Chain A
């Protein structure tokens, strides 16, 4: 049995120069990635926070005109940064610019440092931010569907119109996160896609919880696309060389401590680790590419790893 696998390229917008970040997006499109993502952060989140990073929406706007086929979104947008109705408007404009390739990625936000520096309201707890997220997603969902939604407790939106409507009949909302009590319920109620990370065991557990929430709220779980982040991948035939490249990526990214348990090695080893995800129904997997966007890995994920996973 073969499985169609979608691959996403999450090009980190930190510790990069613009030309390289721009080119990485163009390259992902040329190579045949299905989706292209970047972060929504104002300070670097890996390595030293005192380093360069580009703004996410402006990066997407540029990529939208520089690419032809790939889908585009934030993995994921920080709900605390902007008014949610404005975000729906931005996503809709991106959908027009890209001729129907936008995904509205959104999450509760978590990185307190950038909120303090920028003077953005962080709330008092993850629970509070998730209550904000839920109401925000309701407003976004309504706007993208051509309704005229209003806020209830947290947002003051009042019968807000989104005109023009998106190009896509249904501009997908991807909610990031695997919080079991709230986030996955929000996914079940409102989202078109969900992204979770944390490795196969965590994802397996989240999947069960999501299924339960879908049953509870009466949602057909097959309507929700499951995506998972694969962390940082480096492909080389020589394991030592793969490790050297991997360590160099993290050193370059603000002298970060290299992440553990990443997919570093030959194509077959990487494919081996991805298969359990596709078997679980997570058929859209996102690969993190830190600057300088290792060209060999970007290419061989498509040419070598993808066929191996699909042939399984």
Chain B
């Protein structure tokens, strides 16, 4: 049995509200609703064009969305899942995250990843680099700078960024504003995560996630990081909860239609029991913070039942599993 803490009986749920193919009033309302229902975290994307369905559709900017949500919520933690490192100067991003931490009363996460969606980079004239590897090298140096700033140091860039002894004043409200890195690249992303991150997000099958987690643990050992310091978050895709499968499929189709003609549609359609059965093993593996994608037309039943039914069912299964050992 690993010492992943699954026996502590805690699981946190989050919602990633898609900022695409919606209007602002709805996106704002969903942020408030997520908090009312008792979720722990509220996320959005950092994209400039829709990434699901047609890219020619509406989408809101991520940081401003977080800033508005900070004002109208009181308890949920807030972050980008995840920020696109290519979009902004990394020291400026640390400054923005710090200001969000103040405006939210200490609820900010700095979510960051290398970025991948070439279409939006070309349209906006943002340097996409020549390869995934190049973007990951940039990410590594960017996160080094961000971490230094958040820790009250005065970091400088090395090869890629020109930051020079940059001060972050005022400091974040939280003692350590968590940096969350998204991605599972085994050579670079997980090394960067082991060195600098406070949280790590991944998705995939149980076997894939277990494997990535093992790789992360190896990197932690290699760089001398205590792996238990890194919060594991799981991206659980989009789910539609219904007791009646045909009704579930109807809801899923409606979401697909509204989301720019999303061909594959929500990844999971089923009952709370089925979903809890699927997710409990991840929690046992140490991924105790699970977020779900959620998009217009914002199916109310799914949002309520995730936190009202699925969460306790996961806890029951995890506790029973631990007790059986």
Interface residues of A (CB under 8 A from B): 17-18, 22, 42-43, 50-55, 57-62, 64-66, 81-83, 85-86, 89-90, 92-94, 96-97, 116-120, 151, 155-161, 163-164
Whether B169 contacts A55 by the Cβ 8 Å rule is no
Contact of A151 among B92, B125, B167 (CB under 8 A): B125
Q: For A92, what are the chain B residues with a Cβ–Cβ distance below 8 Å?
A: 61
Whether A90 contacts B63 by the Cβ 8 Å rule is yes
Contact of A157 among B68, B72, B92, B123 (CB under 8 A): B123
Q: For B68, what are the chain A residues with a Cβ–Cβ distance below 8 Å?
A: 61-62, 64-65, 97
Give CA–CA (A18, B167) in the complex, Å. 18
Closest to B161 in A: A119
- Determine which residue in B56, B70, B87, B170 has the highest number of CB atoms from chain A within 10 A of its CB, and name it: B170
Contact of A57 among B28, B63, B126, B157 (CB under 8 A): B63
Give CA–CA (A160, B58) in the complex, Å. 13
A-B contact pairs, 5 of them (CB 8 A): A54-B99, A55-B95, A55-B96, A96-B60, A160-B124
Q: For B24, what are the chain A residues with a Cβ–Cβ distance below 8 Å?
A: 93, 96-97
- Shortest beta-carbon distance from B49 to chain A in Å: 7
- Shortest beta-carbon distance from B225 to chain A in Å: 26
Q: Is B320 an interface residue (CB 8 A)?
A: no
Whether A117 contacts B164 by the Cβ 8 Å rule is yes
Q: For A18, what are the chain B residues with a Cβ–Cβ distance below 8 Å?
A: 99, 102-103
Give CA–CA (A204, B164) in the complex, Å. 41
Q: For B125, what are the chain A residues with a Cβ–Cβ distance below 8 Å?
A: 83, 85, 151, 155-158, 160
Q: Is B143 an interface residue (CB 8 A)?
A: no
Give CA–CA (A306, B163) in the complex, Å. 45
Beta-carbon contacts of B44-79 to A below 8 Å, as 1s and 0s? 000011000000111111011111101110000000
Q: Is B91 an interface residue (CB 8 A)?
A: yes
Contact of B99 among A55, A86, A89 (CB under 8 A): A55
Give CA–CA (A59, B60) in the complex, Å. 17
Q: Is B228 an interface residue (CB 8 A)?
A: no
- Determine which residue in A17, A18, A96 has the highest number of CB atoms from chain B within 10 A of its CB, and name it: A96
Q: For A90, what are the chain B residues with a Cβ–Cβ distance below 8 Å?
A: 61, 63-64
Give CA–CA (A120, B31) in the complex, Å. 33
Give CA–CA (A64, B64) in the complex, Å. 10
Q: For A54, what are the chain B residues with a Cβ–Cβ distance below 8 Å?
A: 99, 102, 170
What number of B residues sit within 8 Å (CB to CB) of A?
48
Q: Is B325 an interface residue (CB 8 A)?
A: no
Whether A117 contacts B167 by the Cβ 8 Å rule is yes
Q: Is B175 an interface residue (CB 8 A)?
A: no
Contact of B67 among A58, A116, A120 (CB under 8 A): A58
Contact of B92 among A81, A89, A155 (CB under 8 A): A81
Give CA–CA (A160, B122) in the complex, Å. 8
Closest to A80 in B: B89
Q: For A55, what are the chain B residues with a Cβ–Cβ distance below 8 Å?
A: 92, 95-96, 98-99
Q: For B87, what are the chain A residues with a Cβ–Cβ distance below 8 Å?
A: 83, 86
Q: For A17, what are the chain B residues with a Cβ–Cβ distance below 8 Å?
A: 170
Q: Is B209 an interface residue (CB 8 A)?
A: no
Q: Is B295 an interface residue (CB 8 A)?
A: no
Closest 10 A/B residue pairs (Cβ):
A61-B67, A156-B125, A119-B162, A96-B24, A119-B163, A65-B71, A157-B125, A18-B102, A58-B99, A52-B170
Q: Is B100 an interface residue (CB 8 A)?
A: yes
Q: For B28, what are the chain A residues with a Cβ–Cβ distance below 8 Å?
A: 97
Closest to A119 in B: B162
Q: For B165, what are the chain A residues with a Cβ–Cβ distance below 8 Å?
A: 117
Beta-carbon contacts of B15-27 to A below 8 Å, as 1s and 0s? 0000000011000
| Residues A118 and B92 in contact in the complex (CB < 8 Å), given A58-B103, A163-B59 | yes
Beta-carbon contacts of B186-220 to A below 8 Å, as 1s and 0s? 00000000000000000000000000000000000
